[in-house]
Chain A
């Protein structure tokens, strides 16, 4: 297997956005491409796979140009070694799992017995050898995902792309398959790109995260960097933080769009600045709280999300805030959408820094 970096610097206009992206992924590196719906994540994968032709730019895989608009180069998808695992797997319904995996090898001229033999090895490697004869319709979500991965890996691609690899799975299997997927990705030597909208998936799978917003890269860094310094609202929400941008003066931030937050910085901050607040640091009250918190303001509950062990409460106020409280606290407060609440945050829980 060849191994070499993927470099893509491409532009393409779509109806709702213009993709203008410059990314590089090293061999053996997993990059998660995250971003809101319609940000161009899947479009980017399609371009790298050769299914869409960029209007401008260049894509290089292991030093060889597969797209170069200026030079008139466009290698069609069937002649570039890019493995693409689709969101809903797209296993061919009329072929067995084994035949699906053998499809790429057969298409590349490998004789049938050898192709089937090599396909069987891939199914074995991914732990689905016992399902070799099954039609895709009868596979479980996790099995289908592994067969789809085996099918893409069987052609021994130079680059592996995965589009929302876990989104077709139910919540219980997702956790298990996610850690499996991490192992399988580690076994692939080339650059790997995973498109996802799931923060956990991105954090677990990726060495580096590229955030696409409105067709452009708004962030490029390790998951830890992203969590520490979210630069946009999307990223802050993605990593689960409240982010406020505005004008700072000393320890006070006048938030763009209304409201004021007081922090306790070591040194005064002046001018353009951003404050982040962890949702766990936000307290909610039914009456105006007495006491020491420096940040107290009224608001209205617009959403209560109790999926995990913690409850996320979205409050519309100036500035808006997301609070994370325990189910017990929710039971005490009996909060529901539309309720009036008071928000309080201690100044020491506000992290203020120049933008």
Chain B
């Protein structure tokens, strides 16, 4: 079937709408200064911090999110639908609100934070750990939602087959359930990592903007936009390229697995 004209026109407009800002960015890029800008110590520091924290957030989201998805998909605990709504809340909440909420919970005078301070001498806000926590908070739902959907659609009879072969619950989870949802865990992890990499609102309200400790690339870009526009553009470009490369490489892979 040939594509109807209105569909083609609207699709072209939609694509242009997404593409245009990137073209604007490329057009303003100071190409000749790019190498020196990207290697500038403060820019390198922000990039390094962003990559490390986003990977840490992704790892944390996998470790906590996969079991959470399993419980939401497979158990019949009371209040499960409410629990599911709460887990996905950070997806729709303004990140700034999430950051403020983290501060009230884990800040020095927060619900839990005061005890962390009193008992263990741990103060989370305005640390690199706080950056990771903020990123995990906003990005984990992407992983949970993806993995939960996959777990719901898997055939539990494979797990029954594993049980009749003598596999206990943990062995079955590790050797049968997890491999069967591996493509979805990967897809969810990529979404989660991309969201963590771009995190701004929750980070700035929970972790602040301390150069070298909590100033990730999105924060640095925001600051530099007012001070040194070329540095902001260079960092933006680096983020765009990293994201594009990862999406192209991994999306192909996960479409192939699913389709």
Contact = CB atoms under 8 A, between A and B. Distances in A.
Interface stretch (A76-84, A243-251, A260-268): A76-84
A90 interface: yes
Contact of A107 (B157, B171, B180): B171
Nearest to A109: B166
The majority secondary structure among interface residues of chain B is: helix
Interface residues of B, number: 18
A93 interface: yes
A46 B168 CA distance: 17
Contacts of B171: 107
A86 B164 CA distance: 11
B165 A103 contact: yes
Contacts of A51: 160, 163-164
A49 B165 CA distance: 10
B179 A78 contact: no
B168 A92 contact: no
Interface in A79-125: 79, 82-84, 86, 90, 92-94, 103-104, 107-108
A155 B160 contact: no
Interface centre among A79, A82, A92, A152, by most chain B C-beta atoms within 10 angstroms, is A92
Nearest to B168: A78
B176 interface: yes
Contact of A77 (B157, B164, B175): B164
Contact of A94 (B155, B166, B180): B180
Contacts of B158: 90, 92
B161 interface: yes
Contact of B167 (A49, A84, A93, A107): A107
A104 B166 contact: yes
A103 B162 contact: yes
Given A86-B157, A107-B171, A92 B164 contact: no
Nearest to B163: A77
A107 B168 contact: yes
Interface in A316-346: none
A151 interface: yes
A60 B234 CA distance: 73
A2 to B, nearest CB: 15
A320 to B, nearest CB: 38
Contacts of A79: 166
Given A86-B157, A90-B157, A90-B158, A155 B179 contact: no
Contacts of B163: 50-51, 76-78
What is the size category of the interface that chain A forms with chain B?
20 to 34
A84 B182 CA distance: 26
Contact of A78 (B155, B166, B175, B182): B166
A143 to B, nearest CB: 17
Contacts of A78: 163-168
B113 to A, nearest CB: 43
Nearest to A87: B157
Interface string B175-187: 1100110100000
A79 B161 CA distance: 13
A107 B165 contact: yes
A104 B164 CA distance: 8
Contacts of A83: 164
Contacts of B155: 90
Contact of B176 (A82, A92, A104, A151): A92
A86 B182 CA distance: 24
Contacts of A49: 160, 164
Contacts of A108: 166
A107 B165 CA distance: 7
A90 B160 CA distance: 10
Interface string B73-92: 00000000000000000000
A77 B160 contact: yes
Contacts of B175: 92, 103, 107
Nearest to A83: B164
A94 B174 CA distance: 13
Contacts of A82: 164
B153 to A, nearest CB: 14
Contacts of B168: 78, 107
Contacts of B166: 78-79, 104, 107-108, 155
B179 A94 contact: yes
A351 B175 CA distance: 59
A10 to B, nearest CB: 17
A76 B169 CA distance: 11
Contact of B180 (A93, A103, A152): A93
Contacts of B165: 78, 103-104, 107, 151-152, 155
Interface centre among B164, B167, B175, by most chain A C-beta atoms within 10 angstroms, is B164
Nearest to B164: A84
Given A90-B157, A94-B179, A94-B180, A103 B164 contact: no
Interface string B16-56: 00000000000000000000000000000000000000000
The list of the 3 closest CB pairs from A to B, nearest first, reads A104-B165, A107-B167, A77-B163
15 contacts: A51-B164, A77-B164, A78-B166, A78-B168, A84-B164, A86-B157, A86-B161, A90-B157, A94-B179, A103-B167, A104-B167, A107-B165, A107-B167, A107-B175, A155-B165
Given A46-B160, A50-B164, A107-B166, 14 more contacts: A77-B163, A78-B165, A82-B164, A86-B161, A92-B158, A92-B161, A94-B180, A94-B182, A103-B162, A103-B175, A107-B165, A107-B168, A107-B175, A152-B164
